[in-house]
Amino acid sequence: MLGIGWFSTGRGEGSRGLLRAAVEAIRRGDLRARILFVFCNREPGEHEGSDRFLAMASSYGLPVLSLSSRRFRRERGAPSIEAVRGEYDRAVLHLIEPYAPHIVVLAGYMLIVGPTLCRRFPMLNLHPALPDGPRGPWQEVIWTLIEQGAKESGVMVHLATEEVDRGPPITYVRFPIRGGPFDPLWEQVGGLSMEEVRRRWGEDLPLFQAIRREQMLRERPLLVATLRAFAEGEIRLVGGYPVRADGQPLPLCLNDVVEEALARWGGEPSWTTPRGQAPWGRNLGITP
């Protein structure tokens, strides 16, 4: 059975929703895996969002590990966690190594993972863009898409490496951000500079919010379907790198899987079906 380690800063509903989706899939029997631990770089009392995340993880009966990156940095008098990243990552490795996960999922983990961790365990990172799309935090990804006047975007899962957001892509989903309800939103910013757009609306810009909704709708089913592909052997790790069992190249497009999930559930970001049925075995070459 696939043993998963779960890393998250747990800032908001997005982080909680990703963990909830995986736990529910496991409980239904749709994902043959175990979450061996949940690690958070915040400790109880640091932030309301992470407190809710930690409480939720504990309510699932999952081992919860915490090491405050803020406290770690302050105790060493460092100007930023990046200044002591290697030391911090070694301390994190000491915490998680006894659990021996097969893979580690970075789901809303806001720190850069250095070589100490990503060389020790295969780490899957969820990134809100296509494999050839913008890099950086999700906010900057969206601003870049708007600045470029992009026609489509996506979400991908890639292998975390020492190069931030540059690891080999494993799976992805794409979606349009033009046409239909998007066109009036683009018209709202037509002819304005990015400086003016950001000054007037900031992240409250309707176009910004619409793109983010499309990303978040697909993050949960994409991540769980990716984990299921690993659990069922559709994607394997060879020498620490993912490969498809059928010999075809990665990344694997999971549009059919994800869009079927959204259609089945009326746009809700849930990927499972009643009674633990898994409707997409044919899409992934997986027998439920």
Task: List the beta strands (DSSP E) in 72-206.
Answer: 103-106, 123-127, 152-159, 169-176
Question: Is 109 among the domain residues?
Answer: yes
Question: Is 169 among the domain residues?
Answer: no
> Domain of 259?
132-154+175-288
CB 107 within 8 A of CB 17: no
Range 24-30 average pLDDT: 94
Question: Is 167 among the domain residues?
Answer: no
- Report the domain count for the chain: 2
Indicate if 256 and 139 belong to the same structural domain.
yes
Indicate if 48 and 144 belong to the same structural domain.
no
Indicate if 136 and 196 belong to the same structural domain.
yes
Q: Which pLDDT does position 266 carry in this prediction?
A: 60
Indicate if 86 and 218 belong to the same structural domain.
no
Place of tokens 């939720």: 56
Indicate if 102 and 149 belong to the same structural domain.
no
Indicate if 54 and 6 belong to the same structural domain.
yes
Indicate if 147 and 113 belong to the same structural domain.
no
CB 35 within 8 A of CB 22: yes
Indicate if 112 and 150 belong to the same structural domain.
no
Indicate if 112 and 223 belong to the same structural domain.
no
Q: Given 121, 140, 162, which residue is the final one in a domain?
A: 121
CA 162 from chain centre, in angstroms, equals 17
Task: List the beta strands (DSSP E) in the chain.
Answer: 2-7, 33-40, 64-66, 103-106, 123-127, 152-159, 169-176, 235-238, 241-244, 252-253
Closest Cα partner for 121 from 201, 2, 261? 2
3-class DSSP state for residue 32?
coil
Question: Is 34 among the domain residues?
Answer: yes
CATH classification at residue 81: 3.40.50.170
Question: Is a pLDDT exceeding 80 seen at residue 284?
Answer: no
Indicate if 143 and 114 belong to the same structural domain.
no
Question: Is a pLDDT exceeding 90 seen at residue 281?
Answer: no
Question: Is 57 among the domain residues?
Answer: yes
Range 193-198 average pLDDT: 96
Question: Is a pLDDT exceeding 60 seen at residue 274?
Answer: no
Instruction: Give the single-character DSSP code of 277.
Output: -
What pTM value is reported for the model? Answer: 0.87
Indicate if 274 and 138 belong to the same structural domain.
yes
Indicate if 100 and 216 belong to the same structural domain.
no
Sign of CA dihedral 53, 160, 255, 179: positive
3-class DSSP state for residue 157?
strand
Question: Is 105 among the domain residues?
Answer: yes
Question: Is 166 among the domain residues?
Answer: no
Q: How many residues does the chain have?
A: 288
Question: Is 77 among the domain residues?
Answer: yes
Give tens-digit pLDDT for 35-66: 999 999 999 999 999 999 999 999 999 999 99
Give tens-digit pLDDT for 96-134: 999 999 999 999 999 989 899 999 999 999 999 999 999
